[in-house]
Amino acid sequence: MSESVSICVIGSGYVGLVAAACFAEMGHQIVCVDNDEAKVKTLREGGVPIYEQHLPELLAKHRGTRIQFTTNLAEAVHRSEAVFIAVGTPQGQTGAADLSYVEAVVSEIARAISSYKVIVEKSTVPVYTNEWIRRVLHRHGVGSNLFDVVSNPEFLREGTAVSDFMHPDRIVVGAGTERAIELLRRIYSPLTEGKYYTRPESLPGACSAAQPAKLLVTSAQSAEIIKHASNAFLALKISFINAVANLAESVDADIEDVAAGMGLDKRIGMKFLRAGLGYGGSCFPKDVAAFHWVAQQKGLNFQLLEEVRRINDAQRDVFFNKVRAALWTLRGKRLAALGLAFKGDTDDIRESPALDVIQRLIAAGAHIAAYDPAAMERARAVLPASENLSFASSLYEAAEDADALLILTDWAEFANIDLPRLDRALRFPIVIDGRNLYAPEKMAEHGFTYVSIGRPATYNEQQGKPKSAIL
């Protein structure tokens, strides 16, 4: 294993906690800092505040040896060679990223610096944030010889973040000095030199000793733009395929066939060509907005990004209208809603299309019985209390005597439903699938009316519903 580096990670959210665990797994010494004393206490005692595959195992493996948790930022900075900033950058009212948490942390770092540190932006930030960090440090009297600022954006998917970190498509380092670049090379050398992948207990993935992770060195400004541009492009792919899905459905084409035909083109690829309810989560909505805001500040009309957002918002209207058309009226209807998180394999409900659809249905007078494998507790905390909302302990309990079943999140559990059992539970065999988890032919064979995104609907004639009523 390469030489260990002492690292301070500030922030124990999705990015910070995953980064801390993965750096420890590489062999480095980590101090993870958070100002939330309750969260730090939970982490010290073995708790894991987020749902993420492999994360509990890595934290259990390295807690107390390679990972320490603390609220003392000054001491953590003093002990570390590299300081990774992984605090939140929420979207402000104008669309710009709110960098107040970053500024507050940098001010604290400034008061703790007494020897050379590499300060690393790990949070998603707009271009030129590196320059503002530099200015804040100077304003607090920190000499230029005591620090370098590096941009090292994360490209993690919630649900597979640990695997993405250890088997990255690329590691981007935006830095202006060889001294800073060399430290980041040392930090990532277990991955870029392939040594980590030779370990018997290494996590499996796309990289290997023969094909190690790739490191790209750029300017800090380029690295900052790479992050926003990457997320905006992925959001564009989602909005594009949803726009095509609406066209395909109007001419009785099948969007799954269309996406497969497009994705086989190596220049396009299959990833993110899944029609559905649109994107959500903590990254895409705010990153598209922030990227658009940055362009506006520079006098550029990046209208494409506004259209990406508009199509994404409209997709929720499309699905809501499908539910209403399939059921005629919504008032008094009992609906089983499968999914609360913004996507499968996570408990993150931020900007979740599922929650937006559920709230619209409740406002229309429907009763919702909701179920999610991981996000129930978080959803209870944010959904307004209503006599028309209940939470079920299983998908089959949610479906019991429901007028229809709605699939809102792409959990694997929802793609493997016992269809005969579901049929027995539902009052009417109607499934409205916002994630295209099933083949229409299969659902028809099992006697379901099946409505999905970008595909002709199938319906159960025994229900006595005319075809025109199922959209």
Residue 146 has pLDDT above 90, yes or no: yes
> What pLDDT does residue 17 have?
97
pLDDT tens digit sequence for 35-55: 999 999 999 999 999 999 999
Token match 């370098």: residue? 148
User: Domain 227-311: which CATH class?
Assistant: mainly alpha
Rounded distance between C-alpha atoms, residue 6 and residue 118, angstroms: 11
Q: Which residues lie across from 384 on neighbouring strands?
A: none
Query: Is 462 in a helix, a strand, or coil?
Result: helix
Taking the alpha carbons at both ends of the chain, their separation in whole angstroms is: 59
User: Domain 6-218: which CATH class?
Assistant: alpha beta
Two structure tokens written together for 389: 């909302």
Rg (CA), the chain: 24
Rounded distance between C-alpha atoms, residue 339 and residue 354, angstroms: 6
* pLDDT confidence tier of residue 424, bands split at 50, 70 and 90: very high
* pLDDT confidence tier of residue 164, bands split at 50, 70 and 90: very high
> What pLDDT does residue 471 have?
41
Exactly one of 8, 32, 207, 283 is catalytic; name it.
283
pLDDT tens digit sequence for 2-22: 589 999 999 999 999 999 999
CA distances for 238 relative to 47, 175, 231, 312, angstroms: 35, 32, 11, 8
pLDDT tens digit sequence for 402-420: 999 999 999 999 999 999 9
Residue 470 has pLDDT above 50, yes or no: no
Two structure tokens written together for 340: 């609360």
pLDDT tens digit sequence for 175-224: 999 999 999 999 999 999 999 999 999 999 999 999 999 999 999 999 99
The ranges of the chain annotated as CATH 3.40.50.720 are 6-218
> What pLDDT does residue 464 have?
42
Q: Where are any strands of DSSP class E within 198-297?
A: 215-218
> What pLDDT does residue 90 have?
80
> What pLDDT does residue 462 have?
60
* pLDDT confidence tier of residue 466, bands split at 50, 70 and 90: very low
> What pLDDT does residue 430 have?
97
Sign of CA dihedral 298, 153, 227, 58: negative
In this prediction, residues 379-398 reach a mean pLDDT of: 95
Residue 309 has pLDDT above 90, yes or no: yes
Task: Report the candidate in 243, 338, 232 with the shortest Cα–Cα distance to residue 285.
Answer: 232
Give this prediction's pTM: 0.90
The ranges of the chain annotated as CATH 1.10.1040.10 are 227-311
32 assigned to active site: no
pLDDT tens digit sequence for 354-376: 999 999 999 999 999 999 999 99
